[in-house]
């Protein structure tokens, strides 16, 4: 009998070992928590006869015990068991890392159980075993039975082995999940970094000791790829395997690799674009290059330089204008004083002669003529200044009217002949016969003709002045005028200055020829206001020609001059 018992025990032990080996093989195939039910069911079906069981694992995210497998419980019972696990036996075993075996709750007042509304039976025996991995507690396996003494030492040994297998599996599962999460985070970070790198106008290039590109990433590489196709492209389309000379230039690359521990900065142009390069030589003989597309920065720099040049030019113009006005004021102090002194002097002489009864009828006409001439000259100077002020302020208003050209030319001839006689000049008007009237501002047109002819007479002595008129209404809707003289003329470089306010070609000529230096400025503004254009050509020692045209179309109502 004893041999039979021993043989039976040995047979049972071998069976358990075989079953546990098969179960261990099942655990090796488990890849997720859902697959954990299969080996646990095998344990319960093959080795144990248990009515109720629940398997809890610690959820590191929610910080609670989760029931991953159970049998014999309703859904409501399982939900309630999981919600209260940490306050009951599973939580106690998980925290204490010790086995809890209650053979009969009736004999253990501390663990005595009564039937509750959430449970359909009264527990008489319990067994809880911690799920361990080394010294780390990862969960608890609980079994319950309405029968006393339901769990044997064999049950404890089998379940302890299963719990340790589960601990190994769960720890590996957690490690895999943690590794996957880390990999996902790294991949996500890499994607974000790649997006950042691709969105920024920069790139990173690693160069090996031979001078070949071994890594290249970043949006700025597009400049290199456009300039020099890669012999081998990486997944991001960057240059790999090419010589870094395509980036730095061969001479710069050789110097950088020889330097060791040095850095340099340079700019490489690529057509209308530019690449900024910061190069660092490494201790291993290679180099690291940080590239930046600085095309927009270079364009902004060029625009800034252009603006600075414009500002300098504007400053120079403003300074020259200030100097011109200063020269003008100095000249005007003389120009205004001269006719005023004449008027005052002859006026005082006439007053003294009148008081002394010494007036001579033969000489009084000449004195009065000098006074009137000086007064008119003074009025002309003042009118020039006031007219330019009106034009610059936009207050000069055109008054279009029907202009009789024949009468206008007769008046012009009458006004110019005395001036030309004093200068020894011959004055001629060449115009088509019977010119039809035009509609324009007569005062402005008279002023233009008077200014140009007076200016020509001022700089011509013993020569000729000619006013030529061309009727181009039929072909171009214009009336064209040319004022020619055989005076001193001007050099080509001086022609750009003559229309500037307060300016004469040679300031020393002011004392010789007089005037404000405003006549031609006003003339150009008036021609522009009339809708025409004024041009000049001149040859030193030969003479000058001022040509302008005005539209011969009717205008209605007053309009402001363009300023």
In a domain, 187, yes or no: no
Let me know whether 540 and 518 are in one domain: yes
What's the CATH code of the domain at 269?
A: 3.30.450.20
Q: What is the pLDDT of residue 98?
A: 93
Residue 507 lies in a domain: yes
CATH assignment at residue 481: 3.30.565.10
**The two three-digit tokens of residue 407, written as one number:** 């009468």
3-class SS string, 314-359: HHHHHHHHHHHHHHHHHHHHHHHHHHHHHHHHHHHHHHHHHHCCCC
Q: Is residue 380 part of a domain?
A: no
Q: 506 and 450 share a domain?
A: yes
Residues 253 and 399 in one domain: no
* Structure tokens that stand for 8 in this block: 């039976």
| CA-CA-CA-CA torsion sign (435, 441, 443, 448) | negative
Q: Consecutive sets of 10 residues in the chain, 563 residues long: mean pLDDT of each?
A: 45 66 70 70 68 87 88 86 91 94 82 52 87 93 88 84 85 88 89 76 81 77 58 51 76 73 74 77 81 79 88 84 66 64 70 65 67 68 68 75 93 90 94 90 90 92 95 89 94 80 53 61 89 93 94 56 47
Clarify whether residues 420 and 554 are in a common domain: yes
Co-location of 24 and 122 in the same domain: yes
126 DSSP β-pair partners: 102, 144
Residue ending a domain, among 273, 293, 313, is: 293
45 plus 161 within the same structural domain: yes
Residues 134 and 209 in one domain: no
CATH number of the structural domain spanning residue 342: 1.10.287
Q: Indicate if 438 and 480 belong to the same structural domain.
A: yes
Residue 165, domain member (yes or no): yes
Question: What range defines the domain where residue 220 resides?
Answer: 200-293
Instruction: Output DSSP code: residue 485.
Output: E
156 and 236 in a common domain = no
* Model pTM score: 0.42
Report the pLDDT value the prediction gives residue 231, as an integer from 0 to 100. Answer: 44
Residue 454 lies in a domain: yes
Q: Are residues 42 and 165 in the same domain?
A: yes
Compute the distance between CA of residue 373 and CA of residue 367 in angstroms, rounded to an integer: 10
Q: How many domains does the chain have?
A: 4
Q: 388 lies in a domain?
A: no
- Report yes or no on 386 lying in a domain: no
Q: Quick one: 102 and 147 in the same domain?
A: yes
Q: How far apart are CA 335 and CA 318, in angstroms?
A: 25
Q: How high is the pLDDT of residue 30?
A: 67
């Amino acid at each position: 009998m004893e041999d039979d018992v021993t043989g039976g025990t040995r047979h049972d032990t071998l069976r358990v070992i075989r079953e546990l080996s098969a179960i261990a093989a099942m655990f090796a195939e488990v890849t997720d928590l859902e697959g954990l039910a299969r080996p646990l069911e095998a344990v319960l079906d093959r080795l144990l006869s248990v009515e109720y069981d629940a398997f809890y694992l610690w959820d590191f995210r929610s910080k609670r015990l989760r029931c991953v497998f159970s049998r014999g419980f309703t859904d409501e019972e399982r939900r309630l068991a999981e919600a209260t696990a940490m306050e009951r036996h599973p939580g106690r075993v998980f925290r204490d890392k010790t086995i809890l075996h209650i053979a009969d709750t009736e004999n253990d007042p501390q663990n005595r159980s009564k039937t509750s509304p959430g449970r359909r039976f009264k527990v008489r025996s319990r067994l809880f075993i911690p799920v361990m991995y080394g010294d780390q507690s990862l969960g608890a396996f609980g079994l319950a039975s309405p029968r006393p003494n339901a769990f044997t030492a064999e049950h404890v040994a089998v379940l302890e082995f299963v719990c340790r297998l589960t601990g190994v599996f769960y720890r590996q599962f957690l490690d895999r999940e943690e590794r996957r999460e880390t990999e996902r985070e790294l991949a996500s970070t890499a994607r974000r970094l790649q997006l950042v790198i691709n969105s920024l106008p920069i790139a990173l290039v690693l160069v090996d000791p031979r001078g070949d590109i071994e890594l290249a990433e970043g949006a700025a590489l597009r400049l290199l790829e456009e300039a020099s196709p890669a012999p081998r492209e990486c997944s991001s389309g960057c240059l790999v395997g090419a010589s870094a000379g395509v980036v730095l230039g061969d001479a710069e690359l050789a110097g950088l690799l020889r330097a060791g521990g040095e850095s340099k900065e340079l700019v490489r142009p690529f057509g209308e674009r530019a690449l900024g390069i910061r190069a660092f030589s490494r201790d291993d003989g290679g180099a690291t290059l940080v590239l930046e597309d600085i095309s927009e920065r270079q364009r902004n720099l060029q625009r800034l330089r252009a603006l600075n040049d414009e500002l300098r030019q504007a400053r120079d113009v403003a300074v020259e204008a200030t100097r011109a006005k200063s020269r003008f004021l100095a000249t005007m102090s003389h120009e205004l004083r001269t006719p005023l002194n004449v008027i005052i002097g002859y006026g005082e002489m006439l007053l003294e002669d009148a008081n002394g009864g010494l007036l001579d009828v033969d000489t009084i006409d000449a004195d009065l003529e000098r006074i009137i001439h000086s007064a008119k000259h003074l009025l002309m100077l003042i009118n020039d200044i006031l007219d330019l002020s009106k034009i610059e302020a936009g207050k000069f208003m055109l008054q279009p009217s029907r202009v009789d050209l024949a009468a206008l030319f007769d008046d012009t001839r009458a006004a110019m002949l005395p001036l030309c006689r004093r200068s020894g000049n011959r004055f001629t008007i060449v115009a088509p016969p019977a010119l039809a009237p035009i509609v324009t501002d007569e005062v402005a047109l008279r002023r233009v003709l008077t200014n140009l002819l007076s200016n020509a007479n001022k700089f011509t002595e013993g020569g000729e002045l000619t006013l030529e008129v061309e009727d181009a209404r039929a072909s171009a809707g214009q009336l064209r005028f040319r004022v020619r003289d055989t005076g001193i003329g001007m050099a080509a470089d001086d022609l750009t200055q003559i229309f500037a306010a307060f300016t004469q070609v040679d300031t020393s000529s002011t004392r010789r020829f007089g005037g404000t230096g405003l006549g031609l400025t006003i003339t150009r503004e008036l021609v522009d206001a009339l809708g025409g254009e004024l041009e000049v050509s001149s040859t030193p020692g030969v003479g000058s020609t001022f040509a302008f045209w005005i539209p011969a179309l009717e205008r209605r109502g007053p309009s402001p001059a363009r300023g």
